[in-house]
Every structure is written in structure tokens, then in C-alpha cells.
Structure 1
């Protein structure tokens, strides 16, 4: 049931939206994000009143503050409010308001100077495309804007277009892929170029755009467009790491993890190369532990993907040995109780690594199956048990415990 707002609140809403003074709107935005509940509750009531009775004015005012607000904080809050009200309000806007908003939005994507605000606006644009599509309408100007921005020399234009593509909701991705299909060749070339950009923001944004538009490049007949892009993504990842841009590298790894989760079957022909590339990062002494955590997440996601199970079992023996060596190294992070006395934080960190190692072994065992896993594990077990280092022997025993549980039938045959 629609809430009923008092005449007094409606008058306050109209005064806030129609005033030439931006201060009432700033106050509303401030209260919406206030930690104090009474202020926040009253502000939400006022916002809902604006949304119900004055949708056109609300959009005009919010967008005005996005462009002309006195501070980045106020402009950011205004953008967040616009996103909050978009889905409910778009069908209620007049046709002229919809046309004006679409045009203003495209201009703003090119003019916005703050990257955090631009990112929010790109997210709103992607969601607005969905709302427009739901009403049976189209937004061809957005497509033209994206294609133009891909080819532009302006890094800001490129970044805005990539973020819009990366943020498209799943429900809209088939629509946008079909729309961009006639322009697949220039889009593919632009993405390859931007994956090699010296601007790390553009590189990582391209990762997200490739994942979002993956069906554009994988469903096309003829040329294997995806192969080039995947190779470009891996080269881009190593470039970020070599230039010590690990925060960006983690963003790239997140997108690759998303790719494995959403489209694992596309990775079957490239799985051996992908696993070996990730193992190189794990073994690198220059890469920090924080980044390696994301590599571990990638490898675990691969191992857990049921669509990749058969392909995993068919990987070369040496690749599987190297993969199994990763959790074994994590199991070496056990500490001597005496050496770690009064070093609780370090002890906790290493305990986390050993727990991860056990989880790794368990999931790899499940993915590879007993017949594939047991011979490789037995090979490593003998190596670790022959070592003079007690940590290696402990790791070997820990692995044996996992294998005994996960591969009991095959172990009887081997032993």
C-alpha cells in the first residue's frame, strides 16, 4: 500500500525541490546519510514524498546537485540517491524528463572530473539502460557513446565506457551483446589496446568489461575473439605485477575469479596455461601475500568448478604436481610452539595458512578424483617424509590424513 504523506510534508518536499537555493537539498542529503536515526527517518520520509508526488522535480534537483554541488561529498551523496530512486521512478517520469535525463547523463559521463563519482554515474547508466529496456524503449545514444569512447584518445572517455559495460546487470548482458555484435571487430581491437594501457584504471576496467560482455566474444562464429582477450588479460595482469601495482592486480584477479565462476566452460582449452601462470605468481618472491590470497582464491575457484573437473583431471602430470605443491607449501607454515611464544598474531597468520592448505588438499582431491590424486600425492608424500626438516615431515603427515579420508579406496591399492 502506497504511503500517504501529509499536506505539510508535501509542501516541504515541493519547497526543497523547487527552491533556487541548494541548501535545503544539501540538508536532506546530509540527513539521509546521518548516523542519527531520527534525522535519517525524517529525511527518508521526505525523500519518499518527493519520489511519489514530484518525480520530475526530484530528478532535476538531484542531477543539478551532482553537477553543481559545493563539495565532492554532497555530489557523491546525490549520485547515490539518484541510484536509489532510479528503478522506481523511471516509469513515472514524463517523456520529456526521460529524454532530458538520458541526454544529460551522457554528457555528464564525459564531463565528470571525480573518478569515484564517475564510477557511480557509470553504474547508474548501466542500470538505467535496464530500466529503459523494461519499458520497451531503447537507448541507441548510449551504444553510440560507448563505441565512440572505445575509439577515443581520451582516457576519461575510455574509462567511463568500460565501467558502464562492466556494470551491466546480468539480465541486460544478452541484450547489449546482441546490440554490439555488428561492431565486434572494432570493440575487440579497442579492448586489446586498453588491456595494454599504461593507465592501470583502464586496464582493470577492461577486465571487467570483457567479463561482462563475454558472450559477445565467445558466441560469435568464425574467429576466436575470446582467445586473444584472455591472453591479453594475463599479459596485463603480469604487467601490473611487474610495475608493483598490486592493488590493481588484485582487482584484475577478482574479475578473473568472476569469469571462472560465471563461464568456466569457456576456460577449458586454456586451463593448463592459466593454472601454470597463476602458479608462477604464487611462487614469486616479489608478489606480496595479500595478492597471493587472490591467486589462491582463483585456483580454489577453478578446483571447485564442476564444469572443469574432467579438464582438471586431464591436465599434464607435471602441472598437477605443481598445483599440489601449493597447499604443501602452505602446510610448512606451522610454527614451533616455543619459537612462537608471545607471537600470537604471527601464529594466527600461520594457522590460517595451514587451514587453507588443508582446504586446498581436500578440494583438489575431490576435483581430481582418487585415481588421479593418489599417485601424485604418494609421490609428494615420499619426498616430504624423507626430508630432515620436521616441518616437511609434518606437512607430509597432514597430507596423508587428508588423502586417507578423501581417497581411501585408491590408497589401499597403492600401498
Structure 2
């Protein structure tokens, strides 16, 4: 088998591992574990990479020598940094991988040395690292059906030692044992249960040394199967809860965090044992999460216990039996996170946020990253609570929170958080919200009020909500479309904030796209709406506002064309100007607007035709056609509509063949289907300008029809394709064979193959 590492490196590693000189290993450690406070230059990074490679080569080719060397440095070096780094290196290369490679004699020697080392080691820091090494070694020994009774006896005696470092060490070892090892030990340690139980009870409550206290939490969780007797477990769990609260009150949060994490781990690992106490644990977690005297991080950590329960099937019945008042308290915790996550400058996290992702993550000293974490935590909690409690309970809680505390709060951040809550539950329970008595109507009234909120970010969030593709929003707009259109119209004309105006226009556009065509025709303020949209089009503060306004006006023109006619004289010059805009999407909507206006054939369009055709011609011949491909397609479509509805104002013999030359359209599929349907109609009525003198354009027409048919329903509707097939059959019957032969000769081989089935004489 080919070696994984070069022979030269293998030889070097063997030499260093076999040597009695420790300097090479100490140098290796200095590269692997540099001072974390110092910036690493390129040379230092290269040295670390080489050291990692060296260590991996040792593990692959000389695992026994590596284990012995690192173990020797850990237990025998006079220098604390060397012993520390040897322990770190052992954890990195994993003793479970190296121990089986040792001979039995070597294993026995290391076991004896380890016991001696533990009793003599003075550094608590080294012992803490060594506990990980020992735990993994014990685990691999017992998983391989071997025994190390001496170390177990030592650990059992150490849990009651007067030396705190040994008590902490033994707890850390028990806490780090693998699950399989704990199972094996649990089956053979029943005679030790009372001794361990007594020691754990004392240590969990002993606040004199928080390191020992926290280590005992991990040991209890690892060996919890030993204490499955209800009375024993009850006492341990009670001691853990008391210990958690004592750590919360007496020491820095890192101790509480470690201890509480073990409690969360216990709930997830042994839900059946914890089940009788879960409702009380929820209340304890709430007590911590609601405590104003602890940090926000502690609030969130305490709530992780509740989140762990929401993921367990064993907790379903308990959660559903919680009283309404407790559910309200549970929902208020993540709502506080949402309130905290919103910043006044608009760059904080939150629903309807103004800032870009890049802007949000450029905070000083990671401030914005913390804000994002708080927001993500709040959203995660709300979603999990929604799944755990279901629609009926969640909506009852949400209704109380939204109507009593959030949406009408004097604090704008509370109102903003209320919109976020409404968004989350709308995604989860839209159908239930629509059916719940008065809920939809109340939320619509509140939302419309927030459209005119005194704070920019609240208005922005409210308009963003109404652009969500969820049933709640669609039902609200369908049932209350007049009220929404009126509110959108007011916002377009009165809001001074540009981003809010953009979002209002975007929400209105979403509304128009998702409601019935006649809903706008019933809106009797159509004139006011068009004036405001025109104002936005003429106001060139942002490309996004000009683009949304154009798109919206185009929809309004189609749905309220009789009212729109009188605005063509103002609208069309703006469309012509926008055709030369730098933004390709603005060009697209400008050309589409011209196409729409042309379709109505009104006299007000005719004075602008020459100016329009000139601008469309420039757009079509744009040297950057590849970047503006859709805009060019739509411009061709606009010319086609002018040819169709304003033939009396143009030279059809010139413009229609020019229009034909750009067919088929392939980039904008909406316009492609419109134009190819128009082509069919013109061919069917034997349009003279289209066919040209002596039917000179017939070859091009046939080629277009064939290409569209070949693409299936991509470039044309099924009805249009059927018409094209009929036209080609008609050509095959009516055109003389001699003339058709010339047509065939003008087509490509592929086109001839497609056309032949339509011609019976061939």
C-alpha cells in the first residue's frame, strides 16, 4: 500500500518520537499552540500547518510511539506549559485511536504511571485537560471488553476526597465518559450507587468551589442511569435546580451557563426520568428568563430548556396542559429578544429591516452580529413554540399579546416586535387566523394603523408584512381591498421616507398581482392613485422607486384603462426617457408600458409615435444587447403593437418587415407569447405589409412559425401553436409545388425537415 506521508517525513517523526530529547516536541507545541493574543504572521501560520502535518504523520505511521511520547511529556515534564500542551495534543489526536495500537505491556505501564501522575500533579489546569484524556482512554478500554479496576477505584474514592482538585478531576472524568462506557459501568456499579449519590448531592449544593460544583453536574448527567430510582433521582434533580440558582446568584455567568447546559442535556437525554418534573422545570426556567437582574444571554440560556422540551415527544402532554397564563409568559421571552434586536438606526436585525446583510454585519466589535443572534434566537423560539402548542393555543396567546401589549404600545420597538410576531404566526397558522372570530378584521385594522405609524421602521415593517405570500395576507387584501388601496395611496403621497415609500409601492404591487383584475376597477380613487404613481416615476431619488412605480402604473393602466387615457400625455414622455435608463429592469418596464399604452389605440398615443419609435429603435440596436436582452424583446413587442393598432400613423411596409426580422422573441416569454399570437393573426388575415410584395417575407414567416412550434408551449400558448400548425397546413395546400420548392430551398435542413410533414405533395 502506498504511504500517505513521504518516507522522509516518516523517518523524521520516528527519530523525534524515539529520542530522549524533548526540545523538538516543545518546539512543535509552540507552533501548534501559539499565544492567542498575538497576531499570526504568514511564517507562523506555515509553521503551524507543518506541525499539524507532522502530528498526523505520527498518528498514521507511529501511533504507539506517539501515545507513549505525549503521555511521557504529560506525566514527566517539569514544565507546566509542556504538560499542558501534551494533554492538548493527546486530546487532538484522540487516545481512543492510539490506545488499541499499544502492546499490553505498554498499556499496563501507562496505566500505572497515570495513577501516579494524578496524585502528584499540582496544576488544576493540567488535570482538567488530563481528565479528557483519561475519560477517552477508559471509554475505549471498556468498549473493548477490557477492565481498569484500579482507576475506577481511585475515581470512586476521589469523589469524597478532601482535595478539591481530585474531586473536580473525578467529576470531569465521569462527565466525559462515552455513552457506551457509561452504560457498561452503570450495569456493574450498583454497589456504589449510595456512595456516589451522597457525594453528588453534597457537591451539587456546595457553592464554595463553583468549579467542583459545575463538574458534578456533568458527572450526574453521564451516570444518571445509576439513579433511575424515583427517590434518588428526585433528590438529585432538586439538588441540581438548587445548585443552578445558587450559581446564578453567586458567580459569574460562565459557571451558570455550564451547569445549566448539563441540565438541558439531561432533559434531552432522559425525558422519561424528567417527565414528572417537567412542568415545574418550565416554571423554574421562566423564573430565570424573567429575572431582570441577569444578562440577556442568561435569559436565552434558561429558555433553551423549554426549547429542548418542545422537541421531545414525551413532553407533548405536559406542554399542552400548561395554563394560558404560563403560555403568555413563554411567548413574552422571545418577544423581548425581538424588541432588543431592533436598533434606532435601521441597521439592527428585525422583520422589515432597512439594512443590507453586509451592512448589518459591519458593527463595531461585533455589535451587529450580537444583534442578529438575539433576533435569530427570538424567531427560533417563536417558531418552536408555535409547533409545540398548535394553532388554537398560539392564536389565543398571540391575540392577547398583540392587542393588549404590542401593536398599540407607546414604544415603537414593541410595535415593531408585534409585527414580527404577527408575521411568524401568519406563516404557521394563516388558515386558522382567517377562520378565528374577528381576528382577521382586528389585525387588518391594526396593520392599517401601523401604515401611518410615527416611526419609520414600524411603517416599513407593516408594509413588508403585506408583501408576504401567505394566506392571511391574501385573505386580508381580498376582503378589505378598498381599505388597503386607500392606505397604499395615502402612503405613496404622504410618506417622506424614501424606503418606506418604496416598500409601500412594492406592497401595493404585490396586492395588485394577487387580486382579481376588477378589484382595482372598483376602487373609485383611481385618479388619485395614478397621480401619485406618476409623481413617483418623475421623482428620480432611487432606481428601485422608479422601477416599482413603472411596474405598478403599467398594471393600473391595464385594469383602469379608461381612467388612464387622460394621463398618457404625461406618462408617455416619462416612458420614452426611461427607455435609455442605465437600469435594465427600468428599460424593460418602460418598453412594456409603451406596449400597453399602444394596445388601447387612443388618440392621445398618436402624437408620441415618432418619438417612441425612434427611442425603441435605439434600444433594440443597443450594442449591449446581451445585457438588455429582455428590454430589447419588449421593445420589439411595443413596435408590434404600434404596427397593429396605429398603422395609420406609420409606414407599415417599412416597420412591419423590420418588426418581423426580430421574431421569434425568446428572452421575455410573456411578450413572446403576445407577439407570436399577433403574428398568427396577421398571417391568417394575409396582412399585405407582413407578407410583402410578391410574398417576399413568406420564407421568414414560415421560419418563425417553425421555430416557435419546435419550442413547444415555451414561446406560445397551446392555442397559438395549434393556429400555427393550421397555417402551415394551409400553406402546403394553397402554395404551388414549384413555389413551395423554392421556399424549401431557402430554409435550413432542420427547418425543411420540420416543414415537410405539413406539405402533402412532398
- Please report the TM-score for the alignment, with normalisation by the length of structure 1: 0.86
The answer to whether structure 1 residue 172 and structure 2 residue 181 are counterparts is yes
CA RMSD, aligned part only?
3.1
Cα distance between partner residues in 1 of 2:186 and 2:25: 39
Q: Which residue of 1 aligns with 2:436?
A: 413
What SS does structure 2 have at the residue aligned with 1:151?
A: coil
The answer to whether structure 1 residue 162 and structure 2 residue 171 are counterparts is yes
**1:96–1:386: structure 2 CA closer, same or farther, 3 Å change rule?**
same
Instruction: Answer yes or no: is the 8 Å Cα contact 2:75–2:113 preserved in 1.
Output: no
Q: Which residue of 2 aligns with 1:124?
A: 133
**1:14–1:314: structure 2 CA closer, same or farther, 3 Å change rule?**
same
Cα distance between partner residues in 1 of 2:143 and 2:54: 32
Instruction: Answer yes or no: is the 8 Å Cα contact 1:166–1:208 preserved in 2.
Output: yes
1:77 is matched with which residue: 63, 79, 85? 85
2:281 is matched with which residue: 259, 274, 287? 274
Higher relative CO (Cα under 8 Å, sequence separation at least 6) belongs to 1
**1:246–1:42: structure 2 CA closer, same or farther, 3 Å change rule?**
closer
Q: Which moved more, 1:289-298 or 1:166-175?
A: 289-298
Instruction: Answer yes or no: is the 8 Å Cα contact 2:75–2:114 preserved in 1.
Output: no
What SS does structure 1 have at the residue aligned with 2:145?
A: coil
Cα distance between partner residues in 1 of 2:369 and 2:129: 37
The answer to whether structure 1 residue 196 and structure 2 residue 217 are counterparts is no
Larger Rg: 2
Cα distance between partner residues in 2 of 1:357 and 1:127: 37
The answer to whether structure 1 residue 246 and structure 2 residue 248 are counterparts is no
Cα distance between partner residues in 2 of 1:4 and 1:351: 44
**1:337–1:27: structure 2 CA closer, same or farther, 3 Å change rule?**
closer
What SS does structure 2 have at the residue aligned with 1:332?
A: helix
Q: Which moved more, 1:172-181 or 1:110-119?
A: 110-119
Cα distance between partner residues in 2 of 1:280 and 1:307: 23
**1:354–1:5: structure 2 CA closer, same or farther, 3 Å change rule?**
closer
Gaps of 5+ in 2: 34-43, 349-354, 439-762
1:403 is matched with which residue: 418, 421, 425? 425
- Please report the TM-score for the alignment, with normalisation by the length of structure 2: 0.49
The answer to whether structure 1 residue 101 and structure 2 residue 110 are counterparts is yes
What are the Cα deviations for residues 356-376 of structure 1, in whole angstroms up to 9, with x where unaligned? Answer: 333322211110111222222
**1:71–1:401: structure 2 CA closer, same or farther, 3 Å change rule?**
same
Q: Which residue of 1 aligns with 2:384?
A: 363
**1:326–1:25: structure 2 CA closer, same or farther, 3 Å change rule?**
closer
Cα distance between partner residues in 1 of 2:115 and 2:273: 34
**1:13–1:142: structure 2 CA closer, same or farther, 3 Å change rule?**
same
CA shift, 1:290, in A, is 2.9
Counterparts of 1:308-323 in structure 2, within 5 Å, are: 308-323=315-330
What are the Cα deviations for residues 275-303 of structure 1, in whole angstroms up to 9, with x where unaligned? Answer: 22122222222212232332233332233
Q: Which residue of 1 aligns with 2:223?
A: 213
What are the Cα deviations for residues 248-281 of structure 1, in whole angstroms up to 9, with x where unaligned? Answer: 1111122122223322333322222212212222
The answer to whether structure 1 residue 41 and structure 2 residue 53 are counterparts is yes
The answer to whether structure 1 residue 236 and structure 2 residue 257 are counterparts is no
Q: Which residue of 1 aligns with 2:69?
A: 61
CA shift, 1:310, in A, is 2.4
Q: Which residue of 1 aligns with 2:332?
A: 325
CA shift, 1:388, in A, is 3.7
Q: Which moved more, 1:118-127 or 1:354-363?
A: 354-363
Instruction: Answer yes or no: is the 8 Å Cα contact 2:310–2:384 preserved in 1.
Output: yes
CA shift, 1:31, in A, is 5.7
Q: Which moved more, 1:180-189 or 1:340-349?
A: 340-349
Q: Which runs of 4+ in 1 moved over 6 A?
A: 4-11, 338-343
CA shift, 1:149, in A, is 0.9
CA shift, 1:40, in A, is 4.4
**1:13–1:374: structure 2 CA closer, same or farther, 3 Å change rule?**
closer
What are the Cα deviations for residues 373-396 of structure 1, in whole angstroms up to 9, with x where unaligned? Answer: 222222222212454444333333
Cα distance between partner residues in 2 of 1:2 and 1:77: 32
Cα distance between partner residues in 2 of 1:282 and 1:81: 39
Q: Which moved more, 1:39-48 or 1:240-249?
A: 39-48
Q: Which residue of 1 aligns with 2:196?
A: 187
The answer to whether structure 1 residue 26 and structure 2 residue 26 are counterparts is yes
CA shift, 1:241, in A, is 1.6
Cα distance between partner residues in 2 of 1:40 and 1:390: 53
**1:78–1:388: structure 2 CA closer, same or farther, 3 Å change rule?**
closer
CA shift, 1:17, in A, is 4.3
**1:38–1:65: structure 2 CA closer, same or farther, 3 Å change rule?**
closer
2:399 is matched with which residue: 364, 378, 385? 378
CA shift, 1:27, in A, is 4.0
Q: How many residues align?
A: 408
Cα distance between partner residues in 1 of 2:232 and 2:25: 48
Instruction: Answer yes or no: is the 8 Å Cα contact 1:166–1:212 preserved in 2.
Output: yes
